[in-house]
Amino acid sequence: MELADLVGRRPVPGGGLLMTLTRRCPLRCAHCSTSSTPDGEDTGVGPLTGFVRSFTPADRPGVVLFTGGEPLLLPAAVTALAREARRAGTRSAVLSGMFFARNGTVPARIMEAVTAVDHFSASLDAFHEREVPRAGVFRAVHRVLDAGTAASFHITGTGPDDPYLAEVTAAVRREFDDRVPMLVNETRPVGRAAAWAAPRTAVVDGGRVRPCPMAAWPVVAFDGTVVACCNQDVVDRRPVPRHLRLGHVAEDGWPQIHRRLLDSPLLRTIRTTGPSHPYARARHGAPTDRAPSASPALPGGPCAACRALPEHPAAAEAAGRAGSGPVGALLDRETARLQAEAGPAALLRRYGCAPYADLVSLAPTHRAAS
Ligand code: SF4
């Protein structure tokens, strides 16, 4: 499974699932969005396995992405969960910080996990390079490719003008002969980066329609809670705003989580119009995509507005009304279809580092049989 297939599914509700295996990580990268440490907590292999066993060929996510912390601190769990998922037809991917690759080797237990999944993604950025040399990471990724697993790099920089991004993406293209795709992102002020990273340019959307595809894939958080999106405050803070909490892996299976994700009128509206639009409707009593002066940007941006919806009953009611019934379901499906048709690079122009978005579709070295 190639990176473009993975990213291309991101706007599809229930098209994928993000599963956090642990908050532990042996590295201490200064930009870590999850503030992972060597002593972080594990989510619990038992409940995660039970949850994956609830996938069926008729009702399953298309792909499950194992993340952390460092998921490959639990290579046997990655192997077992990937095999269990595949039984139902779900493909899998793992994102690693490459702690094992200082000398370019891939230990046998980790290689077993790498060959159990359908896609392997290696983190690479200036912070990781202080912990694991680039040459070791490149050698290890060559081994992954030689083992027959599709691979990509997940690269982070400070922004479009960061010279590191220009240098490292050119180095990857040279080393892998333009055949390994890249997802290039910008550092965000969350986790350990909260103290120093600049926020991205504020989105002054004035209530305009800006669909949020991040509410399409459930996320299993460190404590087993299943939330509706990957916003780090939603994943980390408790309690989770009620419209963004889908359940818990110890209590719910995929069919229940999937149904709540699809049927929630608020989530449909967030996926269809974004969270600011219902505030504008509540203020004006009608849809608007007019001037920001008529519908000023909400303090804290769209995600803060989204998390605060339960505290604003009029906006929550407007969101609920807009997303209910067959029309709400139809708009949700059509929004997902249009975004999926626009392709993975279009998604990354909005959510990643725009000038590098096309690198998601570099020609692969390996085509998965499935
Ligand atoms: S707008 Fe809401 S659903 Fe979308 S990423 Fe932000 S907090 Fe999550």
> Which three-class secondary structure string do you get for the chain?
CCHHHHHHCCCCCCCEEEEECECECCCCCCCCCCCCECCCCECCHHHHHHHHHCCECCECCCEEEEECCCHHHCHHHHHHHHHHHHHCCCEEEEEECCCCCCCCCCCHHHHHHHHHCCEEEEEEEHHHHHHCCHHHHHHHHHHHHHCCCEEEEEEEECCCCCHHHHHHHHHHHHHCCCCCCEEEEECCCCHHHHHCCCCCCCCCCCCCCCCCHHHCCCEECCCCEEECCCCHHHHHCCCCCHHHEEEECCCCCHHHHHHHHHHCHHHHHHHHHCCHHHHHHHHHCCCCCCCCCCCCCCCCHHHHHHHCHHHCHHHHHHHHHHHCHHHHHHHHHHHHHHHHHHCHHHHHHHHCCHHHHHHHHCCCCCCCCC
* Ligand 1 atom having least distance to the Cα of 303: 6
CA atoms in the 13 A half-sphere facing the CB of 344: 20
298 lines ligand 1 (CB under 6 A): no
Residue 337 has pLDDT above 70, yes or no: yes
Q: How far is CA 21 from the centre of its chain?
A: 14
pLDDT at 207: 57
pLDDT band at 296 (very low <50, low <70, confident <90, very high): very low
303 lines ligand 1 (CB under 6 A): yes
Q: How far is CA 188 from the centre of its chain?
A: 14
The pairing of strands 182-186 and 219-220 is unpaired
Q: What is the mean pLDDT of residues 89-101?
A: 97
Quote the mean pLDDT of the chain. Answer: 91
For ligand 1, the distance from its centroid to the CA atom of residue 301, given in whole angstroms, is 10
229 lines ligand 1 (CB under 6 A): yes
101 lines ligand 1 (CB under 6 A): no
The one-letter code for the residue type at 155 is I
- Yes or no: say if 4 and 361 are a contact pair by the CB < 8 Å rule: yes
For ligand 1, the distance from its centroid to the CA atom of residue 270, given in whole angstroms, is 7
For ligand 1, the distance from its centroid to the CA atom of residue 272, given in whole angstroms, is 12
For ligand 1, the distance from its centroid to the CA atom of residue 115, given in whole angstroms, is 33
Which of the pair, 67 or 365, is modelled with greater confidence? 67
- Closest C-alpha residue for ligand 1 atom 7: 303
Q: What is the mean pLDDT of residues 302-317?
A: 94
Asked which of 48-52, 131-135, 192-196, 222-226 is least confident by mean pLDDT, the reply is 192-196
pLDDT at 35: 77
119-134 pLDDT tens trace: 999 999 999 999 999 9
339 lines ligand 1 (CB under 6 A): no
**Percent share of the chain, pLDDT over 70:** 88
215 lines ligand 1 (CB under 6 A): yes
For ligand 1, the distance from its centroid to the CA atom of residue 131, given in whole angstroms, is 32
pLDDT band at 201 (very low <50, low <70, confident <90, very high): low
- Yes or no: say if 157 and 354 are a contact pair by the CB < 8 Å rule: no
For ligand 1, the distance from its centroid to the CA atom of residue 302, given in whole angstroms, is 7
pLDDT at 318: 95
Residue 273 has pLDDT above 70, yes or no: yes
214 lines ligand 1 (CB under 6 A): yes
Q: What is the mean pLDDT of residues 216-239?
A: 96
Residue 155 has pLDDT above 60, yes or no: yes
* Ligand 1 atom having least distance to the Cα of 212: 4
For ligand 1, the distance from its centroid to the CA atom of residue 14, given in whole angstroms, is 15
For ligand 1, the distance from its centroid to the CA atom of residue 53, given in whole angstroms, is 28
Please count the residues of the chain: 370
122 lines ligand 1 (CB under 6 A): no
Asked which of 34-38, 183-187, 316-320 is least confident by mean pLDDT, the reply is 34-38
CA angle 172, 176, 178 (to 5 degrees): 80
| 209, two tokens | 């329609």
211 lines ligand 1 (CB under 6 A): no
For ligand 1, the distance from its centroid to the CA atom of residue 231, given in whole angstroms, is 6
pLDDT at 284: 65
Where do the domains of the chain lie, and which CATH numbers do they carry? 3-208+343-361 (3.20.20.70)
Q: What is the mean pLDDT of residues 220-240?
A: 96
